[in-house]
Chain A
Amino acid sequence: MTVSNPPEGDDGALVAAAQNGRSEAFGILVERYDRAVYTLCLRTMRDAEEARDCTQEAFFKAFRSLRTFKPGAKFSTWIFSIAYHACCDRLGRRKRRSGDELPDRADPSSGPAAVAERNDESRALHAAIAALPEKYRTAITLYHLQGRQYEEIARVLDLPIGTVKTHLFRAKELLRKRLVNQ
């Protein structure tokens, strides 16, 4: 499916257009954010199949509740937040199914095709991120996706900004250690 005649404008204008029934505007938002949302889901879930399901679920929920989107809010923060909560729900179910300890899954980004695409530096960084504990992994992924917008990251994770900064600080420390040891 392709989206024809994409309307111009920023995310807010596209959301407003979608709210007014111009569904192709939502298609543009999907095209803009599906990779970023999938990246967040994949890094959080560490399972390509579940990441795909979470991404689809996030966009479906966003579309269904478009009217609840507050004017002035950032669409990226909103969709990341929906996706993150979808991941948390699945992680909770996975945890209940498999007992208290979550099995450490294989890094899906280390498959032969994915590895071939990357240079050594980014491959090492990917591996180091995948090895982080879940809370740090998600924080560092959002940092990668949203930049240094701590307030937006805090909104997605539903955490105080101070906690987000601490998570990022610790995540970077762990990454540095792992990258130096490699």
Chain B
Amino acid sequence: MNDDFDELDRALFALPLETPPPGMRDAILRSTIGAGAHAPAKTSPFGTWDIVGLGTALAVCVWLLLLLFWDKAFDAMLTVNAVALVHGFVEPSTLLWLAAGGAVAAWVSLGSSLVLARNRS
């Protein structure tokens, strides 16, 4: 394939650009920077699914609040559940498991901090 720069290339590169019809540039500028309504689309920090998830969570919260304030039966059920939850927490075995979990978490995070500090020094 001949890829040399020849007479034809020279003629091609010497071709003048076409002259746009009068008013084209003005029309472009008006439809872009001249119109505030057409400002570049701003990107949201949230994705579509984030917004759907947040909206759903918000709707559920509102629904629960409405139930809490207006539904006496729900109010009673919630009280019963809260009492059961508190009872569950004060069981000795639950407290033992919570203490063991907390100790392990503290040991892991403190241990890794010490290793990092030693590596830095």
Contacts and interface: CB of A to CB of B under 8 A. Distances in A.
Contact of B18 (A19, A109, A166): A109
Q: Is the interface of B mostly helix, strand, loop or mixed?
A: loop
A60 B31 contact: yes
B20 to A, nearest CB: 4
A144 B15 contact: yes
B44 to A, nearest CB: 11
Contacts of A27: 29, 33
Contacts of A118: 16
B115 interface: no
Given A26-B33, A125-B12, A18 B40 contact: yes
Given A60-B38, A64-B38, A65-B41, A126 B15 contact: yes
Contacts of A135: none
Interface in B21-47: 21, 24-34, 38-43
B30 A1 contact: yes
A67 B41 contact: yes
Contacts of A176: 8
Given A23-B33, A24-B33, A42 B18 contact: yes
Q: Is the interface of A mostly helix, strand, loop or mixed?
A: helix
Interface residues of B, number: 33
**Which has the most chain A C-beta neighbours within 10 Å: B15, B16, B26, B38?**
B15
B24 A56 contact: yes
Nearest to B14: A122
A66 interface: yes
Interface of A: 1, 3, 18-19, 23-24, 26-27, 30-31, 34-36, 38-39, 42-43, 48, 51-52, 55-56, 59-60, 63-67, 109, 114, 117-118, 121-122, 125-126, 140, 143-145, 147-148, 165-166, 169, 172, 175-176, 179
Given A42-B18, A172-B8, 12 more contacts: A1-B25, A1-B26, A31-B25, A34-B25, A35-B18, A36-B17, A38-B17, A63-B32, A67-B42, A117-B16, A121-B11, A143-B12
Interface of B: 1-3, 5, 8, 11-21, 24-34, 38-43
A-B complex: 4 closest residue pairs judged by Cβ atoms: A23-B33, A63-B32, A35-B17, A38-B20
